[in-house]
Amino acid sequence: MIPLSEAREYVIGSVSPRATATVPVAESVGAVLAEDVHAVEDIPPFANTAMDGFAVQADDTIGAEDNPVTLKIAGTIAAGAAGDIEVKQGSAVRIMTGAPIPPGADAVVMVERTKANDDGTEVVVDLEVPVGNHLRPAGDDVKVGDLVFSAGAEITPGHLGVLLSLGRTEVSVISKPVVGVVSTGDELVVGPQKLEPGQIRDSNRGTILALLAEAGFETVDLGLVPDDEAAIEEVMRRGATECDAVVTSGGVSMGDFDYVKAVLKRIADMRWMQVAIRPAKPLAFGTLDGTPVFGLPGNPVSSMVSFALFALPSLRKMSGFAHIDGPRVEAVADEAMARRPDGKTHFARVVWRYEDGAYRFTSAGGQGSHQLSAMADANGLALILDGDGLAVGDRCEMMVTGPQG
């Protein structure tokens, strides 16, 4: 067996960020910026009001809380208007949120502290306001020449909004890999039909496709292929041609004779590993015509754990992400979790909550590598180091795999 750290170093170290591509800003969320973004104009581009109200000269409101002042209404400025109505001493301009501050005004009084007369010629103000009240200067958010975002930033909806505010329609990003997923085996079936002796339903392919989609990757379902070397070679070569990475499950144990293993040994440059973890000990990784191939174990839980430890961080690295792993926290066991010494780190499926300033967890149920229902209930993986396990109150590292339930 090889240490987990060595296996991760080998697999993740074998992939590199992909080439850059120019994409529409509207399609960029979830990708990593490949360029520095500088502001080419101020945001906002002009001084404007943060409130509905009246644009005034602040000096005209001095003492207004004790002695309300009456100002002449010089006009109205709506959002999108030119805002060229001058505010002189003793006058005010009705103004709507986002509208430009008119010349001569240096403050805004919110509409709630004003009362206009019936004919709209005068307004009574009962609040003294300082210069700049509810006034947003030009460039208050971003100024011309500012470095807004650096290359390497993950584009979120917030980033998209700023890019659109700057007038950007396209942006340079690291291309995300398209990932193909394939299942093989005569024992696998899809659908509700009656199972014949020795048959099982194919859950891994759908699960991995869903995990990839959840992580923001475009996927190709390469289908379910029978135990036929020619068919397996055809689908693997197609996957290597059409996709930027391929994920398979099953047939990677040492000593197993499997059609996938036989084909990949012949046509790809693969390394077959036994990693010192449980579940997910068997792992294969290599390249086919330059395309990374991740060979995950066949047991459903093992497949998901192996995906989280090896495939997902590698794919995130290929996408240019600086942080390739999900969050890990120190957590407290709220129940004993025994294990036997076997030279491996165990990844226990747990349910965590945050309480009294700490992450606390209990078992999600059965810990067998075939017991997918407990994996479905889990929102974390507790790393139980080699030894006798955890007693109540013991602390360990935990991978957060889902939100608090």
Domain range summary for the chain, segments of one domain joined by +: 4-17+176-318, 24-39+146-174, 48-136, 328-400
Structure tokens at 252: 């990677």
Separation CA 26–CA 337 (nearest Å) = 47
Give CA–CA dist 63/70, Å, rounded.
12
Domain spanning 4-17+176-318, CATH architecture? 3-Layer(aba) Sandwich (3.40)
Helix axes 229-242, 259-267, angle to 10 degrees: 60
Q: pLDDT digits over 109-139, tens only?
A: 999 999 999 999 999 999 999 999 999 999 9
pLDDT for position 194: 87
- Pairing mode, strands 20-24 and 170-174: antiparallel
Rounded to whole angstroms, the Cα distance separating 163 from 184 reads: 44
The 3-state DSSP class for residue 375 equals helix
Averaged pLDDT score across all residues of the chain: 95
Rounded distance between C-alpha atoms, residue 116 and residue 251, angstroms: 80
Mean local confidence (pLDDT), 317-340: 97
* Residue 49: per-residue pLDDT: 97
Q: Distance between CA 326 and CA 400 in Å, rounded?
A: 7
The residues near 217 (Cβ < 8 Å, ≥ 6 apart) are 176, 177, 178, 179, 315, 319
Parallel, antiparallel, or unpaired: how do β-strands 188-189 and 170-174 relate? unpaired
d(CA 321, CA 30) in angstroms, rounded, equals 10
Compute the C-alpha angle 156/162/167, nearest 5°: 125
Q: What is the CATH number of domain 48-136?
A: 2.170.190.11
Any idea which architecture 328-400 has in CATH?
A: Beta Barrel (2.40)
Q: What is the C-alpha separation between 117 and 122, in angstroms, rounded?
A: 6
**Which residue carries 């002796």 as its tokens?**
197
Residues making up the chain, counted from first to last: 405
pLDDT for 247 equals 98
Q: Give the C-alpha separation, 115 to 201, whole Å.
A: 72
CA dihedral of residues 113, 117, 118, 120 (deg, nearest 10): -90
Instruction: Indicate whether 206 pLDDT > 70.
Output: yes
For the beta carbon of residue 339, count every other beta carbon within 10 angstroms. 17
Q: Which option is the CATH number for 24-39+146-174: 3.40.50.970, 3.90.105.10, 2.60.120.10, 3.90.550.10?
A: 3.90.105.10
The arithmetic mean of pLDDT across residues 295-324, rounded, is 96
State whether the Cα torsion 244-303-222-207 is positive or negative: negative
The two counts, helices (H) then strands (E), for the chain are: 8, 29
Where helices occur in 195-246 by DSSP H, the ranges are 204-214, 229-242
In this structure, of 15-19, 235-239, 257-261, 401-405, the range with the lowest mean pLDDT score is 257-261
Higher pLDDT, 186 or 359: 359
- Mean pLDDT across the stretch 90-108? 97
pLDDT in tens, 37-60: 999 999 999 999 999 999 999 999
Does 256 have pLDDT greater than 80?
A: no
- Torsions phi, psi for 135 (to 5 deg): -110, 125
Res 182 pLDDT > 90:
yes
